[in-house]
Amino acid sequence: MPMTLEQLAQRIGAQVQGDPSVTVNRCAGLEDAGPDDVSFLANRKYVKRVADSQAGAVIVSADDAKLIENHNLLVAADPYFAFREAVVALHGYRQHPKPIPDGQHQAPRFIDPTATVGPDCTLYPMVYIAAGAKIGARCVIYPNCFIGPNAVVGDDCQLFPNVTVYDGCVLGNRVTLHAGCVIGQDGFGYATHEGQHDKIPQVGNAVLEDDIELGACCVVDRATVGSTRIGKGSKFSDLVAIGHGASIGRHNLLVAQVGVAGSSQTGDYVVMGGQVGVAGHLKIGDGARIAAKAGVTSNLAGGEEYGGQPAMPWKQARRSWLSIGKLPEMTQELRALQKRVTELEAQLASETQVRP
């Protein structure tokens, strides 16, 4: 819905610097925004782009506002969060379409008589809810989702197409699973005996606490015994895999293609960049930040930044990467030194032989 800058500033906790009567309709990036749009600046290195932007207003910090002239600004303590609030105010959240009423040329859904479904749920065609499953209130479950026997889904959950929740697994309240997620498949557990890999029955489950969102095609294995657990408020990008018996702390951020092996644990507020791999039975402390493609092979202390293969403190990793860029020159120098040493050794041997 359209808003004046004055109205929007009140909604997002900002101060108007410029014309408060300007009306904006939507949010956009600096380069794409027009006179009816609001944009944001969260990184000072892009401040020069504001001058070329056609945005009706730009959300900025108080420090960055001092560098910008002749633009309507919304000055906020945290510009990125304020932009988030502006998106909510102007665009709102995704509205789920209502399914076609039963009997009007749609495929059926199946709800076992022993399952329970809370009030105000939206269940699309081809949803299968197995025996003993419990679905909370106001959930939205899209086509081709499977909720296994005795699984629990809390209130206000959203399960997009082709999500599978295996038997006995638990989703808390306000959990969002994007298309193709699998919760509680068997963990990778085998006992190798006399040259044969014998399957260990995976008798545990997987538990996702409240306010979790997983991107498309994420997988959380069930535990061999006990529970694989994802902590409250954690967010995953696409294609994240969590091994059996692992424990992910609260409010973790895991970017695409992260893999955490079985029985590893992370603390709270841990961040992992894309394609980070964590070996099994490790511990990562609260607030650790791990750069993309890092390979974690040992325990990591909290509150630090890491990178590299194997993962090491960030400053050390950067020095290693800079050294890799110099390897061709270093190799040439080493070969020249080896040749020189060989020549000196030959010269020394020759001089020794001619001495009386």
Catalytic residue numbers, as ranges: 244
Residues 6 or more apart from 301 whose CB is under 8 A from it? 285, 288
DSSP letter at 222 equals P
Residues 6 or more apart from 338 whose CB is under 8 A from it? none
Q: Which burial class, exposed, middle or buried, applies to 238 when counting CB atoms under 10 A from its CB (0-12, 13-18, 19+)?
A: middle
Residues 6 or more apart from 289 whose CB is under 8 A from it? 270, 271, 304, 305, 306
**First vs last C-alpha separation in the chain:** 103
DSSP letter at 44 equals G
Number of Cβ within 10 Å of residue 6's Cβ equals 13
The Cα angle at residue 97 between residues 95 and 99, in degrees rounded to 5: 155
Number of Cβ within 10 Å of residue 31's Cβ equals 12
Strands (E), 18-55: 23-24, 26-27, 37-40
Contact status, residue 190 vs residue 207, Cβ threshold 8 Å: no
Contact status, residue 271 vs residue 294, Cβ threshold 8 Å: no
Contact status, residue 239 vs residue 221, Cβ threshold 8 Å: no
Query: What does the alpha-carbon distance between residue 60 and residue 81 come to, in Å, rounded to a whole number?
Result: 11
Query: What does the alpha-carbon distance between residue 296 and residue 315 come to, in Å, rounded to a whole number?
Result: 16
